[in-house]
Amino acid sequence: MTVGHIAALIAGHAVLGAGLLALAEKFLPMVPSSALLILLGMKTVAGPGDLALMLAATTLGSSLGCLCLYGLGRALGEGRCAAFVARYGQYILLSRARYDHLVEGYRRHHFQVTLLGQTIPTARAYLPLPAGIFRMAPGRFVLAILMGTSIWNGAFLTIGYIIQAGA
């Protein structure tokens, strides 16, 4: 399935489809979220009202995915999560070295790493795991995820909208 096919599928279901795609992207990072969001901005946003709806849907979907990963981190705990990454991380593009780096960042700066991490490609998909492992306060986690994800999603949806409007 190509990116064009995905876009056509999403366009048929607009806001709900975009939210579900943002959720799925947290677990199947096959297409870079930046490209996906630009495409959504180009194909589904006709004006500022649509942009706000798309931003809300994709932020909600992505944040729900982050909450699932946060819950997985809490359930697995530090030892089991490290063992899982060592064994299966290669299949989800998460090396043990990258995982260890993420964990160390969380030890020092939970909120800041969570917020800023949502604006860093690749890392944004996996940062919720250490937040759950170290039992970051759920309210602070959700606030950081919502803020960081809306910055990331808003930027790329807007770029797509501008490209489409200029065409």
Confidence of residue 29 (pLDDT cuts 50, 70, 90): low
pLDDT of residue 166: 81
Torsion sign across C-alpha atoms 89, 17, 166, 159: negative
Average pLDDT, the chain: 84
Between 3 and 149, name the one with better pLDDT.
Answer: 149
pLDDT tens sequence across 41-58: 998 888 888 899 999 999
Between 93 and 114, name the one with better pLDDT.
Answer: 114
Alpha helix segments (H runs only) across 45-137: 48-88, 96-108, 110-117, 123-126, 128-133
Given the structure tokens 């705990």, which residue do they identify?
77
Residue ranges making up the domain that contains 65: 3-166
Structural domain count of the chain? 1
What is the reported pTM? 0.78
**Percent of the chain residues topping a pLDDT of 90:** 32
pLDDT tens sequence across 58-106: 999 999 999 999 999 999 888 888 888 889 888 877 888 888 887 777 7
pLDDT of residue 68: 93
Between 9 and 113, name the one with better pLDDT.
Answer: 113
φ, ψ for residue 143, nearest 5 deg: -60, -45
